[in-house]
Structure 1
Amino acid sequence: MAPKTTSPWRIDRKGVIAIVVAAVLLLVAGGSWFVNSVQPASSTDDNPLGGGRFYVNPDSSAVRAAASASGDSAGPIQELAATPQAIWLVPEEHPAASITAYVRGVVADAAATDTVATFVVYGIPERDCGNQSAGGLSAEEYPLWISAIAEGLGTETSAVVLEPDSLALANECGNIDSRIVTTQDAIDRLSDSGAVVYLDGGHSNWHPAAETADILKRAGVDRVRGFATNVSNYNTTADEVAYAEKVSALTGDAHFVVDTGRNGNGSNGEWCNPSGRAVGDVPAASDDGHHDADLWIKTPGESDGECNGGPPAGEWWNAGALDLVRD
């Protein structure tokens, strides 16, 4: 479910930024498929994500795709490129030796534009348990990588989704105890940064709320802001909020964020590149209960894996991206 571990190609950063600016101008002049895709998040007194806007990565896969988009596909792809999305940190692309500088640069750029960067940390040992996004670091390497990320985060506010699927998959993987220990250590290493951390809360069509709450409590959800739901999945926001509020009630009122990047039409029961799906609500903070924000965590347009006509997990899939917009 993760992005591809190495970028397929790069273009000059100044050129990328120009593309994003041009895309935004195009939307202002010619209309928009998504409503208020870059509007400021609503402000709330106690929501750490409620005071600003979310960061648009000038080197996202959508931005790179927009550089070569033409004809009828140009507008939709540019719209995706102009919408704030999470930045996935994977060790295959950003190893410990370089990840501090990379994260520090993103955080500084976000601060300069008065936005909040969203990161997904995705490098835990036995990542995805040998499935489409198999990989990750060794038990010895992972703590050092997390510390390097924490150093780059500094004290500026950023949102961090810590290891999607790590806790929800742990029972199937047979490594609940080690996953809990690894998660607790990662929380410790991120604790002095400005990160607003959300653990893996699965989704509404997976484990019962009580089961999710139990493993979240064991992993240390009381020491972070809360948990994330629906990452890389398609369930409706209403279903996710209802499920997450049940989990919250069982975890001492933990807060949560919902991945709405691809849930506009809800789920058809498939998780790997299902047809007929659509982009969902754009990223914005929430003041509803324990719901901190809707975020585009999984990048719309990046494949879930080699299924239903898609390329390997994380690779840009232009046909899939256009389907999400048109549906």
Structure 2
Amino acid sequence: MLSRTRTPRALVLLTVLAVGTLGLTAPVEAQPAPAHTERTVAAKKAKDPRRTRGLFVDRLMPAAKQGGVYRTRIGTKSQAFWVIPEAYPTGQVRSKVRAYTKRALAAKKTPVITVYGIPGRDCGSHSSGNPITTAAQYRKWIAQISLALRKQRAIVILEPDALPLFSSPVTTCATKPAGWQAMLRYASKTLTRSGAWVYLDAGHSNWTPYDTRAAALKSAGIAYARGFSTNVSNFRSTTAEKKYAAVLLKGLSRLKVRGKHYVIDTSRNGAKPSADGNDVINPRWARVGKAPRLVFRGAFDGTLWVKHPGESDGPVNDGPSSGRWCDRLADRLLSRVDSGRC
């Protein structure tokens, strides 16, 4: 919810060798890849432009269009392009996404996209109103996004909050769709095939309990994705999120899912959260966090601004409806005098 989103290893075919006159066969051990093949794979990874070209700063993002201090302090930072079916239905989403990625590639930067359209998202709270209501509709929508992302070398945050909401053992979600794992698997696999780096959203460190979340990630297709995202639209510290990510990585490793990476949303984690952790709808204490930056340190790929600072989480704490820009909210995040305007 807005309030608070690798390809499998190829199978190695084992040849068999006839032994004796009994007609028995025994597998021959797979030989290691030649050194030149390993070097070729490593070279391809090193040449991926996402490792060097920086994140796209889109001048069409809300803060940039506001001008003034909002542009200079928020709008000059890379922020994700949110792809939602209300704004970009199946018949239009391909052209809209490609228009964004073309702007990014023209600037020689990496496009960052948030896909937020799974049926039942947000459990009917502040981001309800999704026109996609069935798995078949969702697959068609995702397929069009995938076509738009071919050869664009994008970063994709996949379905913020969906997995932790739908897999929670304690939180009831009245709008949880049947087969949600299969929908996320399809999206993860299909978008990855387009060449995107897909990060399946895993909630945040204060979203407890999460002892079964690694298993939920596996069921939802993390094997196809580059990894997972944390803290999307939330306020937990980067340190806390790294510890949380380490727990998930260890859990995935126990499930034989290894080599995954993660990113952290730092758009609004520049202040210590409230003690109970429940004040997460336009909280007055929140501040912008460190600027987005990819670093590629071990499993940690870096930080992103997924949530747009200054956009409302919902009609709470003087905010307008979810997704709308509000000067007052941006002022709070920037430690400025409240303008009183929304």
Q: Equivalent residue of 1:169, what SS?
A: helix
1:59-82: CA deviation from partner (whole Å, max 9, x where unpaired) = 11112222xxxxxxx224432111
Find 2:289's aligned residue among 270, 280, 291: 280
**Residue identity matched to 2:312:** S
Judge conservation of contact 1:123–1:135 (CA < 8 Å) in 2: no
TM superposition score normalised by structure 2: 0.77
| 2: CA distance, partners of 1:87 / 1:188 | 20
Q: Which residue of 2 aligns with 1:201?
A: 202
CA offset at residue 223 of structure 1?
A: 1.2
Q: Equivalent residue of 2:59, what SS?
A: coil
Q: Equivalent residue of 2:138, what SS?
A: helix
CA offset at residue 46 of structure 1?
A: 9.1
Q: Which residue of 2 aligns with 1:36?
A: none
Structure number with bigger Rg: 2
CA offset at residue 45 of structure 1?
A: 4.4
1:113-164: CA deviation from partner (whole Å, max 9, x where unpaired) = 1111110001110111101111321213111111111111111211100100
Q: Within 5 A, what are the aligned runs for 1:237-248?
A: 237-248=238-249
CA offset at residue 53 of structure 1?
A: 1.0
- 2:267 counterpart of 1:261: yes
CA offset at residue 231 of structure 1?
A: 0.4
Q: Within 5 A, what are the aligned runs for 1:125-144?
A: 125-136=119-130, 137-139=132-134, 140-144=136-140
Greater shift after overlay, 236-245 or 177-186?
177-186
Find 1:97's aligned residue among 76, 91, 96: 91
Q: Equivalent residue of 1:120, what SS?
A: strand
**Residue identity matched to 2:151:** T
Judge conservation of contact 2:265–2:305 (CA < 8 Å) in 1: yes
**Residue identity matched to 2:180:** R
Q: Within 5 A, what are the aligned runs for 1:146-165?
A: 146-165=142-161
TM superposition score normalised by structure 1: 0.81
Identify the structure with bigger relative contact order (alpha carbons < 8 Å, sequence gap 6+). Answer: 1
Gaps of 5+ in 1: 4-43, 67-73
**Residue identity matched to 1:292:** D
Greater fraction of residues in helix:
1
| 1: CA distance, partners of 2:317 / 2:69 | 25
Q: Equivalent residue of 2:57, what SS?
A: coil
| 1: CA distance, partners of 2:246 / 2:209 | 12
Task: Number of aligned residue pairs: give it.
Answer: 280
- 2:107 counterpart of 1:107: no
Gaps of 5+ in 2: 4-44, 253-257, 337-342
Q: Equivalent residue of 1:88, what SS?
A: strand
Q: Which residue of 1 aligns with 2:300?
A: 291
Q: Quote the sequence identity (%).
A: 36
Q: Within 5 A, what are the aligned runs for 1:1-327?
A: 1-2=1-2, 45=46, 49-66=50-67, 74-136=68-130, 137-139=132-134, 140-170=136-166, 171=168, 172-173=172-173, 175=176, 178-251=179-252, 252-268=258-274, 269=277, 270-326=279-335
Q: Equivalent residue of 2:200, what SS?
A: strand
CA offset at residue 250 of structure 1?
A: 1.6
Judge conservation of contact 2:185–2:222 (CA < 8 Å) in 1: no
| 2: CA distance, partners of 1:49 / 1:281 | 20
Q: Equivalent residue of 1:116, what SS?
A: coil
Greater shift after overlay, 189-198 or 259-268?
189-198
CA offset at residue 177 of structure 1?
A: 5.5
> What's the Cα RMSD here?
2.0
In structure 2, do the counterparts of structure 1 residues 234 and 285 end up closer, same or farther at CA, with 3 Å as the change threshold? Answer: same
| 2: CA distance, partners of 1:152 / 1:102 | 8
1:148-189: CA deviation from partner (whole Å, max 9, x where unpaired) = 111111112111001001101003326476210110121232
**Residue identity matched to 1:89:** V
CA offset at residue 106 of structure 1?
A: 1.4
Judge conservation of contact 2:105–2:152 (CA < 8 Å) in 1: yes
**Residue identity matched to 2:322:** A
